């Protein structure tokens, strides 16, 4: 996983509440075999509308998405995080996220940053014309206009994200403990090994 | 004296590899089931990082979700190509990934193929006291044999493939105690729908449910699988039923189950698993078995249940305003009106199958209703999809296939089928389906499809009368 210290750039002031994972990426994209390429299907139903914000040239290349309450609710599909990543989004800022979505975002190195609604309102306003900056070191979101909003994050997740530690690497560092568990069960419960049918 | 523990605590404690200060633990996974939909990106991730599967011997792969349920081989024994290119690509990916990573793979035309949650117990891959995962929420089903089994996402699938462990936080424990026995003609499906109706789809959130009471002790393993399967619709992470003599009798001699001295040692261990007397659950709910009648759903959430002899509820009858709103939307989607008798609701489609109700006992129960009868004229499409090739063969040896086809049903190859609109078996928009599956969500059986969940016997009764029916009217 790539370490994430700073995300800087234009943000899409989307602002919608209760965006479910089906809106982020519809079910028909679940039949894929790669994490890549899903950006093409992201927010498909919204992009079908004339003049939608995602296709507004003003926000081309944006790396941040600003949304309303309860972002990523609905079905647990991890494709939602992959699709956002594939469309170039490195961070989503919203008043709240569904638990499953924030877990999936974390696993894929996508920042899910929760800020109070008034901060969101201000960022939405700035995003229309100017870039914003997320700094993971100081855990703050800033604008070119001296706004500074501090966010919180689970310390473990924070450390993984800034150091680019992937969960599998972290677990693999426990290889000795895993091996020990396997040796114990091999001797105490040899029947646990499935009979090769 | 050692602390009295629940079944869940015993399984959890026996699988802790490493305990972290924040309360989460690294948990060893004994069994991993893999299917075509949630695995391709996990294998892609392993490949990119140059990682191997740590324990291919603890992993079993089988296709089920996308697979069409029509014939798989032509008269010459050649594979019939799959029309949908996206499904074909996922199925091919699994077929290639399993051998590439050394995982046992049960192919589409193998007699052992079937829905992951049907074949796990059937092959003896699912065992009491084990931890088991699969990239599918209905993994909860395996709790029927006393395994701690739950669904995971693709990144977790990758994590388990690479490390055979998962970083987890402990769930709370919940006891659902059912007092008394079910009335004649009432099935496990009626009971679990009733339970979900009582506790709601959020009733089990954050908990692992243990089902307790004489009714479960008397219930077959097939029935227990139906119950535990729908723990997820009750909001729980997993369901559990204590292993007992019925469990051991069911597993003995299954292909992947322990043999000889190993078997005896295993049974001795399994006998230590049931919840100790005096163990404390975080939450406890009591249900009276005598209250359960033949049950169907009227809305688009599994908690929207009502006795089949009842009426569609009025949205205003719910205390919670958000539930009132949801009920209004449900009624609109379902094309129903409050106060309408469920028994007047006509159905055009019948689906008997899914990991909830596609085992031999389910097919027997449906066939018992259909024997010597025909589906009603207004029923346009009626299919039976056995949960596995072995269930199918068993049913055929008992002549059940003939009963179904004589009644006007199609007899299909095993798979998830019309449980979810991922393969060609779909319910047409605006039409109703009497379904033995587990989810009545908007669009679950196909865009615009209207699902009524019920037991296999009730689905068979609906086929005969062409409307939602109390099966006891036909069996009396
Ligand atoms: S039958 Fe339905 S619920 Fe069961 S595994 Fe298949 S899709 Fe999921």
pLDDT tens track for A169-197: 999 999 999 999 999 999 999 999 988 75
User: Any bridge partners for residue B29, and if so which?
Assistant: none
- Pairing of the two strands B104-105 and B59-61: parallel
Instruction: Indicate if ligand 1 lies below 6 Å from the C-beta of B115.
Output: yes
Of A171, A191, A195, the CB nearest to B265: A191
The CATH H-level (homologous superfamily) assignment of domain A6-164 is: Aconitase, domain 4 (3.20.19.10)
**Across chain A, how many H-helices and E-strands are there?**
8, 8
Q: Quick one: CA dihedral B360, B362, B365, B371, positive or negative?
A: negative
Considering only CB atoms, which chain B residues are within 8 Å of A34? 40-41, 44
The ipTM value here is 0.93
- Both tokens of B212, joined, read 């307790």
In three-state secondary structure terms, B233 is helix
Q: Which two tokens stand for residue B454?
A: 């019920």
Ligand 1 center from residue B64 Cα (angstroms): 8
CA distances from B426 to A34, B166, B332, B418, B447 (A): 26, 35, 21, 5, 8
Classify B94 as helix, strand or coil: helix
Tell me the backbone φ, ψ of residue B234, rounded to 5 degrees.
-90, 10
Compute CA distances B200 → A169, B195, B233, whole Å.
Answer: 39, 8, 8
- C-beta atoms surrounding B218 within 10 Å: 11
Q: Does residue B233 line the site of ligand 1, with CB under 6 A?
A: no
So where are chain A's domains? 6-164
Q: List the pLDDT tens digit at each of the 476 positions of chain B.
A: 679 999 999 999 999 999 988 889 999 999 999 999 999 999 999 999 999 999 999 999 999 999 999 999 999 999 999 999 999 999 999 999 999 999 999 999 999 999 999 999 999 999 999 999 999 989 999 999 999 999 998 999 999 999 999 999 999 999 999 999 999 999 999 999 999 999 999 899 899 999 999 999 999 999 999 999 999 999 999 999 999 999 999 999 999 999 999 999 999 999 999 999 999 999 999 999 999 999 999 999 999 999 999 999 999 999 999 899 999 999 999 999 999 999 999 999 999 999 999 999 999 999 999 999 999 999 999 999 999 999 999 999 999 999 999 999 999 999 999 999 889 999 999 999 999 999 999 899 999 999 999 999 999 999 999 999 999 999 87
Query: Which tokens in the block code for residue A82?
Result: 């992959």
Residue with tokens 């530690």: A165
Round to whole Å and give the CA distance between B347 and B296.
Answer: 13
B30 touches chain A (CB under 8 A): yes
Question: Pairing mode, if any, of strands B349-352 and B381-384?
Answer: parallel
DSSP B24: E
Least confident residue range of A2-16, A23-37, A143-157, B181-195:
A23-37
**SS3 of residue B381 by DSSP:** strand
Range 7-66 of A in CB contact (< 8 A) with B:
28, 30-35
Size of interface A-B (CB pairs under 8 A): 117
Contact state of B58 with A172 under an 8 Å Cβ cutoff: no
Best B153, B157, B389 residue to mutate vs chain A (most A CBs within 10 Å)? B153
Q: pTM (2 decimals)?
A: 0.93
**With a 6 A CB cut-off, is B91 part of the ligand 1 pocket?**
no
Asked whether B438 lines ligand 1 (CB < 6 A), one says: yes
Torsions phi, psi for B429 (to 5 deg): -55, 135
Chain B residues inside the 8 Å CB shell of A25: none
Closest-CA residue of B relative to A166 is B159
Distance from residue A25's CA to the centre of ligand 1 (Å): 21
Q: Which helix (H) or strand (E) holds A65?
A: strand A64-66
Q: Report the distance separating Cα A172 and Cα B348, nearest Å.
A: 53
- Laid out side by side, the sheet with B165-169 consists of B16-19, B24-28, B165-169
Residues on chain B touching A110 (C-beta within 8 angstroms) = none
Say what the pLDDT of residue A195 is: 81
| Beta carbons of A113 and A142 less than 8 angstroms apart | no
Q: In which element (H, E) is residue B175 found?
A: strand B172-179
Q: How far apart are CA B86 and CA B89, in angstroms?
A: 5
Distance CA B402, CA B157 (A): 40
Q: Which residues of A touch B256 (CB under 8 A)?
A: 194-197
Residue B192's nearest CA partner among B225, B146, B169 is: B225
CB contact under 8 A, A156 and B22: yes
Mean pLDDT of chain A: 94
> What is the reported pLDDT for B20?
87
CB B251 within 8 A of CB B125: no
Q: In this predicted structure, what is the pLDDT of residue A197?
A: 53
Tally DSSP H helices, then E strands, for chain B: 16, 19
User: Is A171 within 8 Å of B263 when comparing Cβ atoms?
Assistant: no
Query: Residue B260: how many CB atoms within 10 A of its CB?
Result: 8
Helix, strand and coil percent figures for chain B, each rounded to 5? 40, 20, 45
Contact A104 B153 (CB under 8 A): yes
Rounded to the nearest angstrom, the minimum Cα separation between B160 and chain A is: 9
Torsion of CA B14, B28, B167, B242, to 10 degrees: -50
What are the Cα distances from residue B140, in Å, to A90, B168, B201, B231, B240? 34, 16, 15, 7, 8
Q: For the segment B21-43, what is each residue's pLDDT rounded down to a tens digit?
A: 888 999 999 999 999 999 999 99
Looking at residue A135, what is its pLDDT?
A: 98
What are the residue ranges of helices labelled H in B240-386? Answer: 245-251, 260-270, 321-334, 360-370
Separation of CA A103 and ligand 1 centre (Å): 24
Distance between CA atoms of residues B231 and B141, nearest Å: 8
Are residues B409 and B370 in contact, defined by beta-carbon separation less than 8 angstroms? yes
Enumerate residues 6+ apart whose C-beta is below 8 A from B26: A171, A174, A177, A178, B16, B17, B18, B19, B20, B165, B166, B167, B168
Written as six digits, the tokens of B160 are 């388990």
Q: What domains can be seen in chain B, in order of their start residue?
A: 7-169+251-264 (3.30.499.10), 172-244+275-291 (3.40.1060.10), 295-475 (3.30.499.10)
Nearest to B255 among A35, A181, A197 (CB): A197
* Token reading at A141: 């979101």
Task: List Cβ neighbours of B290 (8 Å cut-off, separation of 6 or more).
Answer: B180, B183
Closest CA–CA distance from residue B70 to any residue of chain A (Å): 20
Half-sphere exposure in the Cβ direction for B131 (13 Å, CA): 24
Structure confidence by residue, pLDDT tens digits, A64-104: 999 999 999 877 789 999 999 999 999 999 999 988 899 89
B165 to A190: CB separation less than 8 angstroms, yes or no: no
Please give the residue of chain B at the shortest CA–CA distance from A177: B17
Q: How far is CA A28 from CA A34, A37, B262, B290, B327, in A?
A: 14, 14, 46, 43, 27
CA B463, chain centre distance (Å): 22
Closest alpha carbon to A93 in A7, A2, A4: A7
Q: Quick one: which of B271, B231, B213, B275 has its CA closest to B247? A: B271
């Amino acid at each position: 996983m790539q370490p994430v210290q700073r995300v800087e750039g234009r943000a899409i002031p989307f602002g919608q509440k209760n965006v479910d994972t089906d809106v982020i990426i519809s079910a028909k994209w679940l039949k894929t075999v790669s994490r890549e390429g899903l950006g093409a299907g992201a927010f498909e139903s919204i992009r079908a509308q004339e003049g939608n914000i995602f296709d507004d040239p003003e926000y081309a290349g944006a790396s941040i998405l600003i949304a309303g309450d309860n972002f990523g609710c609905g079905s647990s599909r991890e494709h939602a995080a992959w699709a956002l990543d594939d469309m170039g989004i490195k961070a989503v800022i919203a008043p709240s996220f569904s638990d499953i979505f924030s877990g999936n975002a974390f696993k894929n190195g996508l920042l899910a940053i929760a800020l109070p609604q008034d901060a969101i309102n201000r960022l939405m306003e700035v995003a229309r014309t100017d870039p914003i900056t997320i700094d993971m070191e100081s855990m703050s979101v800033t604008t070119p206009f001296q706004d500074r909003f501090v966010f919180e994050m689970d310390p473990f997740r924070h450390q993984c994200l800034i150091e680019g530690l992937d969960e599998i690497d972290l677990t693999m560092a426990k290889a000795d403990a895993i091996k020990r568990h396997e040796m114990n069960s091999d001797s105490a419960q040899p029947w646990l090994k499935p009979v090769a049918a | 004296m050692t602390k009295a523990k629940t079944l869940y605590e015993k399984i959890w404690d026996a699988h802790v590899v490493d305990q972290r200060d924040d309360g989460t633990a690294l948990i060893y996974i004994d069994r991993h089931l893999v299917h075509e939909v949630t695995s391709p990106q996990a294998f892609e991730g392993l490949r990119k990082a140059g990682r191997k599967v740590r324990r291919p011997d603890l992993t079993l792969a089988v296709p089920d979700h996308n697979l069409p349920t029509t014939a798989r081989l032509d008269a010459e024994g050649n594979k019939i190509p799959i029309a949908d290119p996206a499904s074909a690509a996922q199925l091919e990916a699994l077929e290639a990934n399993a051998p590439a990573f050394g995982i046992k793979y049960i192919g589409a035309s193998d007699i052992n193929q079937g829905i992951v949650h049907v074949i796990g117990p059937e092959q003896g891959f699912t065992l009491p006291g084990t931890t088991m995962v699969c990239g599918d929420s209905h993994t909860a089903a395996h709790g029927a044999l006393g395994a701690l089994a739950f669904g995971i996402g693709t990144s977790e699938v990758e994590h388990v493939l690479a490390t055979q462990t998962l970083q987890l936080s402990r769930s709370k424990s919940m006891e659902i105690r059912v007092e008394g026995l079910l009335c004649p003609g009432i099935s496990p499906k009626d009971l679990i729908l009733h339970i979900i109706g009582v506790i709601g789809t959020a009733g089990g959130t954050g908990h692992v449910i243990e089902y307790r009471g004489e009714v479960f002790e008397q219930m077959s393993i097939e029935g227990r699988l139906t119950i535990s399967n729908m723990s997820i619709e009750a909001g729980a992470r997993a369901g559990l039923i204590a292993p007992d003599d019925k469990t051991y009798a069911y597993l003995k001699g299954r292909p992947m189950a322990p043999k000889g001295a190993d078997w005896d040692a295993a049974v001795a261990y399994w006998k230590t698993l049931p919840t100790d007397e005096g163990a404390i659950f975080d939450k406890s709910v009591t249900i009276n078995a005598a209250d359960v009648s033949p049950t169907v759903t009227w809305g688009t959430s599994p908690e929207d249940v009502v006795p089949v002899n009842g009426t569609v509820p009025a949205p205003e009858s719910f205390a919670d305003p958000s539930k009132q709103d949801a009920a209004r939307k449900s009624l609109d989607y379902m094309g129903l009106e409050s106060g309408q008798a469920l028994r007047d609701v006509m159905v055009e489609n019948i689906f008997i199958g899914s990991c909830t109700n596609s085992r031999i006992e389910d097919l027997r129960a449906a066939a018992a209703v259909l024997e010597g009868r025909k589906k009603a004229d207004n029923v346009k499409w009626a299919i039976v999809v056995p949960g596995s090739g072995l269930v199918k063969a068993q049913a055929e040896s008992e002549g059940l296939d003939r009963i179904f086809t004589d009644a006007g049903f199609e007899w299909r190859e095993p798979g998830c089928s019309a449980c979810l609109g991922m393969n060609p078996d779909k319910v047409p928009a605006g039409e109703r389906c009497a379904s033995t599956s587990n989810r009545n969500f908007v669009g679950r059986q196909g865009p615009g499809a209207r699902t009524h969940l019920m037991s296999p016997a009730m689905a068979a009764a609906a086929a005969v009368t062409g409307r939602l029916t109390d099966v006891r009217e036909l069996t009396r």
